[in-house]
Structure 1
Amino acid sequence: MKLNADFSRRVAVHFNDTDWVASPAAGVERKMLDRIGDEVARATTIVRFAPGSAFAAHTHGGGEEYLVLDGVFQDESGDFPVGSYVRNPPTSRHTPAAAEGATILVKLHQFDPDDRRQVHVNAQTRTEPVVPLFRDGTEDVRIETWAPDAPVKVDADGGCEVFVIEGGFVESSESFSRWDWLRLPPGSVLGGRAGPEGARVWIKTGHLKSMV
């Protein structure tokens, strides 16, 4: 499968305009944002776990990072409530589940093969305008809070992804609201304006240079 696999182009996916698709695990559904591959894939996905659902134990050969959007996500290492950002590096193994249900934004098979850093940040109660989540020589991952009607500018020289956690913004005359996703190619600049209620967004920059 190839979905939004041309990383030289701007791509926008609006949460309310896409359907949930069943996964191989009972009670687990997803909305695919981009994907190269089948069940083992380089992928960016919104995944919804019904209460009591789980995936079988598996190893992430290419790493996994996720942000908990709703509910409580779980595995052998503990419970991860809303606002938790987790990086499970290549070769890590777990059995994901959600006893009471959860929704996550997850990115798979996008790590440096030599990366072995485990990361866990709970950003839910953080109130600063920029909450750093992860940074290395290739990528910068963070949560930003934009004031109501504030102009927005994000350097996307190495590519950029923006996911709306709360609120909304306008870019290129297109409006983005809760759980919408925008990907800009390398060499871009995100220029826009926060909505009247402001916005809280997850941002990753710098990581798409090798994809074009």
Structure 2
Amino acid sequence: MDKAARSYTELKYNCHMEELRNLHLNAFNYIMEASPYKWSRVHCLERRHMVMTTNVAECINLYLKFAQQLPMLTLTDFIRNMLQRWLHDRHLAAQSIRLQLTDASHLVILKHVDKEQNLDFTSLCADYSKRQTLIDVYSIPIMHVRHLSSWVVPADIVERVVLNPLFRRQAGYPRSERHVSSSERTTSQSCRRCGQLGHNSRRCSNPPLINDCLCRVVPQEYRRKCSICHSVGHNK
């Protein structure tokens, strides 16, 4: 059911629902009593502003996780080089295909179609699985950035003086992770000393949890000790 609810296309939705029907008919009838428009992405009538695009955006964010700490010009060059390398490698891979279909589509056809039937494989596949379509996708010309000495800059632009913006860096380490939205699941930190949430055992000032109950009198082995003299009652 989870795969059917998260499907983006109606074809995958129908496949997962058919699997659920064959696996458990009562469960299929139970969820079909509620309208699929309430729990299925593909049948949702509202605008999908709350649905995360985890296909391309998250893939690029993973590659830019460490490059985001670079300066703006260096980050721009890193993104440009990354996209150029991706398009170049995929363009060569598309040009190396000698069949009318892509390699993955050709393997699927061989598994489901008998060679003795003398059928045209290309008539059974969509355009996106053909070789020419794959070549056209990665045939976009890329205008490379030339050296600074070859740039033609107008005189009025050269005379302008652009200073660095007034910026005051915030205290602490910069944030390296993205902000979590309200619809995502977050993991809360728990303390192994008292069992409460929001802190860890190093910053815990609560009495320890022994035999599922809080102790009013803290035993000797659970008291904080000094890391230098290893005595109880104070810290370093």
Task: Give the TM-score, by structure 1 length.
Answer: 0.18
The structure having more radius of gyration, on CA atoms, is: 2
Structure with the bigger percentage of helix = 2
In the superposition, the TM-score normalised over structure 2's length comes to 0.17
